[in-house]
Amino acid sequence: MLTNYDIIERPVITEKALGENGDRRYVFIVNKNANKIQIRDAVQALFTQPDGSPVTVTDVNTMVLKGKQKRFRAFGRISAGRSSDRKKAVVTLAEGQSITIFEGV
């Protein structure tokens, strides 16, 4: 059984992801086995509005990002590897709501 902290691994802090905060959209890296309902419930349980009430999630979009091929030199040889796959979720909140950890970043 996944806990809320296992489902939401970390927020994505990039220029493009932070640009969507004005549209009430927040981006998270989530567990690959989590579905949209689990992600919605985890965000509503973990985050609150500035006044202390829980946030309301209206929409969740997910995408799986495939890992890239990597080549590196080790022990005088060129070895090949692959970075791990990730799952990203874009969460949209209800009108007039925000998550406080993203404010001022």
The pLDDT value recorded for residue 56 is 96
Domain ranges for the chain:
4-94
The pLDDT value recorded for residue 21 is 83
The owner of tokens 């022990």 is 75
Architecture of the domain spanning 4-94: 2-Layer Sandwich (3.30)
Which structure tokens are listed for 80?
């090949």
The pLDDT value recorded for residue 73 is 86
Residues 6+ apart with CB under 8 A from 104: none
- pLDDT 10s digits, 10-58: 999 999 988 888 889 999 999 999 999 999 999 999 998 878 889 999 9
- pLDDT 10s digits, 70-92: 988 878 888 888 999 999 999 99
Phi, psi of 45 (to 5 degrees): -80, -35
Q: What is the mean pLDDT of residues 90-101?
A: 90
Three-state DSSP at 24 gives coil
The pLDDT value recorded for residue 102 is 66
Which structure tokens are listed for 52?
């202390």
| Mean pLDDT for all residues in the chain | 90
Pick the more confident residue, 60 or 78. Answer: 60
